[in-house]
Each structure stands twice: as C-alpha cells, then as structure tokens.
Structure 1
Amino acid sequence: MEIPRDTSPNHNPYITGTTPESANPNQEQPAVKRGSLDILLVDDDQLSLACDKLLLEREGYRVTAVNSGELALEYAQIRHYDLVLMGLTLPGLSGEHTAQLIRDPLGGAVSPRVPIIALSSQTGDRARKRCLKAGMDEFLPKPIIWEDMQHAIRCVLRGRNKTQAA
C-alpha cells in the first residue's frame, strides 16, 4: 500500500499547522504591519532554521538567520531587531545564556527590551520556567505549530505572553 504524500509547495513535514498561504483569512491579524518587523532567528538545526526563515519571510517579516549564540550576539550588536526567536541547544553559548547576555543591563545589554521567544525540543513546565528565568518572554515547543508561533509573536509584541492572552 502506497502512502500518499503531500508534494504541494506549502507542505513542510517539520512544521505542523497551516502555512501562511493556507491560513484562515478571518484570523486575527499581526500586532504590527507585516514587513515592518526585523526578526533574528537563532537555531542550530539547519533544516529548522531554513524552514522557519522561509515561513516567516512568506509572512512578510525580514529575517536574519544564524546558527549560534555567538553569532546572535554579534548581529544583535550591529542591528536593531524587533523580535528574537531563540533555539535553546546551540553550539557554544546556549540559547538561555545568549538571552541573558542580550538582557543583562550590568554587562552592557545588547538589547534589553527586545522580545525573545524560546524555540525548544525540550517540553514541559520545567523547560518553560528556565527560559522565562533566563529573560525570555515566551516558550514554544518543537515541532513548531505555525498558528502558535503567530499567536506568540502577536502577544509578545503587544507586551504580554500568550498564556496571559488566552
């Protein structure tokens, strides 16, 4: 028996949910005009990095994608970002440590007020609490559900986490 495969250009087996093109047109709109946001995307998994970057760009966001905490800090020092999407298991500096360095006012914070959303294969309340303690604003478990990412982005840009918004 052959298993049917979705070969449409919008199908991605690594991200669940609808893609921007197939999303409900009546759903809640972004907090700010699409295309007006610069996002720093940090993930050590090259496939996740490429897929997330593509989906975000299709939504109209300007995305800089890097694969380490050190590169994230370098880019954050030379350019203003409206949002950081941060993987946790990175080579060198972890995502948690990178977030702390971005936020640390005593260590010459790179961008103490930029919203940071953790993207993690670690699940559960313990991982979420560690991320929030490190200064991140929100936590999304992998695999990423596109609607959850959109909702988290809207919420952190409005100054609240998605749990408060529900």
Structure 2
Amino acid sequence: MRKKHQGTGLGLTISKEFVEMMGGTIHVESEYGSGSTFSFTVCLGVSQNKATPHVTSTSSIPTGMHLNILLAEDNLLNQKFLVHFLTMFGHNVIVAENGVAVLETLKRQGHDIDLILMDIQMPEMGGIEATGIIRKHTGKEFKSDIPIIALTAYAMKGDKDRMFAAGMDDYVSKPVDMKELSAAIARAVAGKTTKQGSGPAMPSGATPKRDAAPVVTLDLESLTNRFDGNQSLLKEILTLFLVEADNHMENLDASLESANLEDLGAVLHSITNIASHVLAMDIVETSRQLEKRCYHETFEQVEPEIRKLRPRIQALAKVVGETLDTL
C-alpha cells in the first residue's frame, strides 16, 4: 500500500541542526535491505546549581521561538532559500515582493506580525523608504516599533548609517548566513539590537579583481552542505539560477547599450544575489564592488570592468547547467 503523502525529508536535517548547535556530531550506520541506524554524540556539563536560570545564547540558532515573520524580498532565489530555512526553524513566513506590499500586508494583519526581514533594494518601494513610513505610522493597524532587520548586499559605513537612520534595528549581509540571521532575530525580539549588524564591512577603496580568462568552478560539495543534502532543493535553486541569469544577462546588455549607470547598478545587484546562492563568491565580490562604482564613477570608468564580468557569468551558467545534468 502506497502512502498518499510523503514527508518533506527534513527530519534528519532538523536533527542534524540541533545536534551541531549543541557542539555534537550525528552518525549513520546503514545496511542494504536491513535499514539504517542514526545516533549522535554530545558533551553536556552537569549543573552545579539547579536554581540557576538557563540563558539562551544568541550566537546559535534559536529553536524555541515560533514567530510570524514578514519577509520583504523580490528575488525568487532569496525567497526560496530564506523561506525554506526559516520554516525549518519553526517560523511562519509571509512573503512581500516590495515595500508597497509590506505596507499593505501590515494594514491587513499587522498585529499578527512579530518581525520584518527587509531587503534594501526592491522595485516600486525599497526597504529604507518602507521602514521610514512604518516608523512614522500613527494608526492602529500595526505597531510602528515592530522589529525590522535589513537584508543587504551593501556593507559600507554610509549604507549602514542610512539603514539605522531610517529606523532599522539590525542588518545581516548577503549572502545570508542563517546562524547570523537567527542571532539577529533573537536580538531583535529581545530588544537587544546592537546597531552593528552581522557581516564584514567592505573596504571603501576596493576594486574588482581582474580575471585573465573566465575560468569558473562550482563547489558542489559546499553547495550540498549548504542545503543539508537536500537534492530536490539544490536542483530547484540551480534551475532558478539559470533562468534568472539569462534574464539578468539580457538586462545587462540593454543597460550597457543605453549607458544607464542606475540600471547597471540594479542589474549588478541582482547578479550579486543569484551568484551568492551558488557560492560563486568571486563573482559576488566583483559584481558587488562594480555596483558601488556605478553610483560614484562615470560610465566610461566602469564599462570595461563590467564587460569583463559578462563572460564569467556565462561560464558560471554553463557550469551550473552541466552540474544539473549530473544530479
């Protein structure tokens, strides 16, 4: 008799997260035709004072919280990644594709939202503008002091100052590390935001690396580990990457043709996003820095470096496609 519904396959993934959070390791012994045995080892201390309250560290993933999180993110890859892990950690996630949708959602069900994860650069209305409106809100639909964490590819001091000036409580740099994000969530709901954020600041004078040839590799082992061995999710992410890479290449060509620096900056921002999901960190670094330069330099200064980036993205897409064929 076949099951009508199968599980999500996340039980082992969640167990692995719990064990590793406690500093332990998980093991498996499997024999074909007989089954598998899973076990784990952790080192636990003995409490000397039973009256001492347990203090939860915000440096690890908080598993005891079950929050209603409003995720403001227009990129489908980012949505897929964040919803997967936030749901796995016990949160309920509502997705809004831009700042306008965030405000509409808050007006409908604002009192049910515990926290907002806010992308900075979105169409129609970005995260900083939306945050400013939320903080000035005086109506009864939602509280103006709802915790807001920025999700951003920006990391320079001036950008951080703008986020905090708008009223954001914390920020996490992209590509998002889930432990850093969970720590920021724990700080925000506890009212202990540091106004420092997570992730390194980008050197202000940095310039993109120059590659003599578009040699690109894909670290399949790290990607598999990133998604805890979930092959189905990995395939979906890689497929979405190919679709979005094709769209962004067309937009990049159009922006180069029109010499529009603002459009080029927006396209490079999107390229940074999709490259981060396949751990192509050299392309992430280059596109992120080129985006910054689009807002401070002339088209003639940045065009040659952007054109050098194009074949590297094409090479990455080719490698991703070849990898998909093997999965």
Find the partner of 1:42 among 72, 89, 92.
72
| CA distance in 2 between partners of 1:21 and 1:67 (Å) | 32
Matches within 5 A, 1:85-164: 85-105=117-137, 110-162=142-194
Q: Is the 8 A contact 1:156 1:162 kept in 2?
A: no
The alpha-carbon distance between structure 1 residues 78 and 126, as it changes in their structure 2 partners (threshold 3 A), is same
Structure 1, unaligned runs of 5 or more: 1-8, 11-18
Q: Is the 8 A contact 1:73 1:110 kept in 2?
A: no
| CA distance in 2 between partners of 1:114 and 1:32 (Å) | 21
The alpha-carbon distance between structure 1 residues 34 and 110, as it changes in their structure 2 partners (threshold 3 A), is closer
Q: Is the 8 A contact 1:99 1:134 kept in 2?
A: yes
| CA distance in 1 between partners of 2:153 and 2:77 (Å) | 14
Distance apart, 1:151 and its partner CA: 0.6
Aligned residues: 149
Distance apart, 1:128 and its partner CA: 1.2
Q: Specify which structure has the bigger relative contact order, considering alpha-carbon pairs within 8 angstroms and separated by 6 or more residues.
A: 1
Distance apart, 1:44 and its partner CA: 1.4
Q: Is the 8 A contact 1:101 1:107 kept in 2?
A: no
The alpha-carbon distance between structure 1 residues 21 and 70, as it changes in their structure 2 partners (threshold 3 A), is farther
Whichever structure has more helix as a proportion of its residues is: 2
Distance apart, 1:26 and its partner CA: 2.1
Structure 2, unaligned runs of 5 or more: 1-8, 24-56, 199-327
Compute the TM-score of the two structures, normalised by the length of structure 1.
0.78
Compute the TM-score of the two structures, normalised by the length of structure 2.
0.41
Tell me the residue number matched to 1:33. 64
Whether 1:58 aligns to 2:85 is: no
Distance apart, 1:152 and its partner CA: 0.3
RMSD in angstroms over aligned alpha carbons? 2.8
Q: Percent identity?
A: 26
